[in-house]
Structure 1
Amino acid sequence: MPAPPRLLVDGVADAALSPLDRGLAYGDGLFETIRFVDGRAPLWPRHMQRLRESCTRLRLPAPDETLLAREAAVVSDGMADAVVRITLTRGLGERGYAMPAAPQPTRIVAAFPAPVLMPESYRDGVHLRLCELRLAEQPLLAGIKHLNRLEQVLARAEWDDPSIADGLLLDGAGRVISSTMANLFAVIGGVLVTPSLDRCGVAGVARAEVLAAREVQVRELALDELLHASEWFLSSSVRGIVPVRSMAGTVYVPGPVTRVLQAHWRGLGFPMELS
């Protein structure tokens, strides 16, 4: 049995969440999933930037980032490689969708052991499948990491083959958006491309790091274009830069752009073994 997560609710160890919390009742809140290595979170500033911007869009009071950093350090203390999840909800409220006039957000900070990805996944890539589920468009929520992940839950339920690492998600018009748990980039005609996320999808912090490190074309991406890419990879703040090895019967080989960005990821301080 895996060890239970270390958990703080509003700074209290192992405290319970109220069943009246709006995060539980309505998915009314946000979360960040942050990789810590030897007590350090290289992408912490990007996570905090997204959290601030997301709070503004959801009309949530922004949390004290210094307090979050302290609590993240407490729950991850002694863990060489950890994933810290920070969840922020609108807190308690009366029944109904109306926002509380003076919300008192609930703050949950928990630490888990980082997932283990085999060296061959980074070296050779992973296998993907195309999901039947299509993402709904909601521009107001597009890009942010809100608590409602039912689309991803249902998409992930479409397969139980352990050889499939992830599923590709399209929107209702058939445009490529992401995988169930990562953003994606593809080299098409020598140009690095990533899907636009102005209608749906999550704008990950690893995606933001790639956009800052390389010249990238952000645009609508058709499935046929993606399947004919010379190389493509997934980006995730937890797993890093992971090449795609196969999709829909097509086999790919990790290319030079993928390798450069893997090296960039290691340079940030994240482990990534290729052998």
Structure 2
Amino acid sequence: MFLINGTWQDSLPANDRAIQFGDGCFTTARVVNGQVQMLDAHLQRLRQGCERLALTQPDWSCLAGEMKRLAQTSPLGVLKVILTRGAGGRGYSAAGCQQPARILSLSAFPGFYSQWREEGVDLTLSPVRLGRNPALAGIKHLNRLEQVLIRVHLEQTPAHEALVLDSEGWLTECCAANLFWRKGNRVFTPYVDQAGVNGIMRQHILTLLHASRWEVKEARETPEALKEADELLICNALLPVAPVRRAEGVEYASRELYEFLAPHCE
């Protein structure tokens, strides 16, 4: 069951814009001891998504209350919030749309994430590339077919996650995580101004690094840059951070950056 516009149900109108066009945005939050982790950051992500997509914004205090009440039922879980433009409109036109829809759901926490943090993850280069579009880059909109295809290909390999490039061949992200790598005292992460998601944990890590002894830089690099790195790690709001042990045949033993970040990302 889903909490849709404040009512528990499992259906949505067939003419809702999310179904017709993927017209909306979403966020996925970690719930620990009945509390939504980084709640303000998740609400800000949804605000930015609404602004970029010109969606009518919901009652934010109402939505925050629903998120908190739903989280209270879980000691450890995943809270997903979807905002759609609502039902209505003819063709691509949004004229005549009804009220925007808010959809909340709570699911079990991925048990394998703790194993990833302990043992590290293996990455493989995805054959699926992300289209470059600065109008949509950075936000978590509902058009996720690229990620679906990336996951389809990933599941045909023994790797845990995928290295994903944009259509120009630049490193961008993973299937469901952001990417960082370290060379000496310098830390790099791909730009996400043309493609990819500016993840909440990515933003948090950048803030931590800017205030630390590490030098941090957003970069446009090809996968070749990773071969000379001392360390790789991936992150998302659920994980929140995990070391990479192997990527495209190259092994990484160092966890220096990971050990610095992990205590600050729980």
TM value normalised by structure 2: 0.93
The answer to whether the 8 A contact 1:38-1:80 is kept is yes
The residue that corresponds to 2:6 in the other structure is: 11
For 1:243 and 1:251, locate their aligned partners in 2 and report how far apart those are by CA, in whole Å.
11
The residue that corresponds to 1:270 in the other structure is: none
The answer to whether the 8 A contact 2:241-2:265 is kept is yes
The residue that corresponds to 1:190 in the other structure is: 185
* CA-to-aligned-CA distance 1:93-128 (integer Å, 9 cap, x gap): 133101125651011011111111254421331111
* Alignment coverage as a number of residue pairs: 261
Q: What amino acid maps onto 1:237 in structure 2?
A: A
Secondary structure at 1:132 match in 2: coil
The answer to whether the 8 A contact 1:7-1:75 is kept is no
For 2:201 and 2:259, locate their aligned partners in 1 and report how far apart those are by CA, in whole Å.
15
Matches of residues 17-36 of structure 1 in structure 2 within 5 Å? 17-36=12-31
* CA-to-aligned-CA distance 1:153-194 (integer Å, 9 cap, x gap): 001111335742111100111100000000011112421111
The answer to whether the 8 A contact 1:244-1:254 is kept is no
Matches of residues 1-275 of structure 1 in structure 2 within 5 Å? 6-100=1-95, 103-117=98-112, 119-160=114-155, 163-215=158-210, 216-266=216-266
For 2:105 and 2:157, locate their aligned partners in 1 and report how far apart those are by CA, in whole Å.
27
The answer to whether the 8 A contact 2:164-2:174 is kept is yes
For 2:173 and 2:231, locate their aligned partners in 1 and report how far apart those are by CA, in whole Å.
15
For 1:89 and 1:239, locate their aligned partners in 2 and report how far apart those are by CA, in whole Å.
26
* CA-to-aligned-CA distance 1:249-271 (integer Å, 9 cap, x gap): 111124211111111113xxxxx
The answer to whether the 8 A contact 1:188-1:226 is kept is no
For 2:120 and 2:250, locate their aligned partners in 1 and report how far apart those are by CA, in whole Å.
13
In the alignment, structure 2 segments of 5+ residues that lack a partner are: 211-215
For 2:87 and 2:203, locate their aligned partners in 1 and report how far apart those are by CA, in whole Å.
33
* CA-to-aligned-CA distance 1:208-232 (integer Å, 9 cap, x gap): 1101111221121221112321001
The answer to whether the 8 A contact 2:113-2:239 is kept is no
In the alignment, structure 1 segments of 5+ residues that lack a partner are: 1-5, 267-275
The answer to whether the 8 A contact 2:24-2:82 is kept is yes
* CA-to-aligned-CA distance 1:53-109 (integer Å, 9 cap, x gap): 121111012222221222223333331101110000000113310112565101101
* CA-to-aligned-CA distance 1:1-32 (integer Å, 9 cap, x gap): xxxxx520111002410000001000000001
The answer to whether the 8 A contact 2:35-2:71 is kept is no
Deviates more, 1:223-232 or 1:95-104: 95-104
For 2:120 and 2:172, locate their aligned partners in 1 and report how far apart those are by CA, in whole Å.
19
The answer to whether the 8 A contact 1:125-1:254 is kept is no
Change over 3 Å in CA distance of 1:238–1:14 after alignment to 2: same
Identity %: 35
Q: What amino acid maps onto 2:262 in structure 1?
A: Q
Q: CA RMSD in A?
A: 1.6
